[in-house]
Amino acid sequence: MRMFKRYLPKLIAKHVSRIFKGRIYIDGRGGYHFEEGILLVPLKAQQHHYDTVNEVNLEIKRLREVY
């Protein structure tokens, strides 16, 4: 499990796309699970969880377009 002290979508996207499967925790945003290089929404999600997942997954798609 990787812990991020700040919410930096680009850094989180790089980690998720490279490691491919696992868990992360973001201070102030909560814990997340990712598989196949995509961040997944937690089971008991609130609006900020959906916003975080959408933003990070958008950054992952941008990374894949560049490479």
What backbone phi and psi angles, to 5 degrees, belong to 29? -120, -25
The mean per-residue pLDDT over the stretch 30-40 comes to 95
Written as six digits, the tokens of 21 are: 């499967």
Q: Is the pLDDT of residue 63 over 70?
A: yes
Q: Is 1 helix (H, G, I), strand (E, B) or coil?
A: coil
| The predicted structure's pLDDT at residue 66 | 74
The mean per-residue pLDDT over the stretch 35-48 comes to 95
Q: Is the pLDDT of residue 67 over 80?
A: no
User: How many domains in the chain?
Assistant: 1
The mean per-residue pLDDT over the stretch 16-33 comes to 95
CATH of the domain at 24: 3.30.1910.10
Confirm if 34 and 16 have CB atoms less than 8 A apart.
yes
Domain residue limits at 46: 2-66
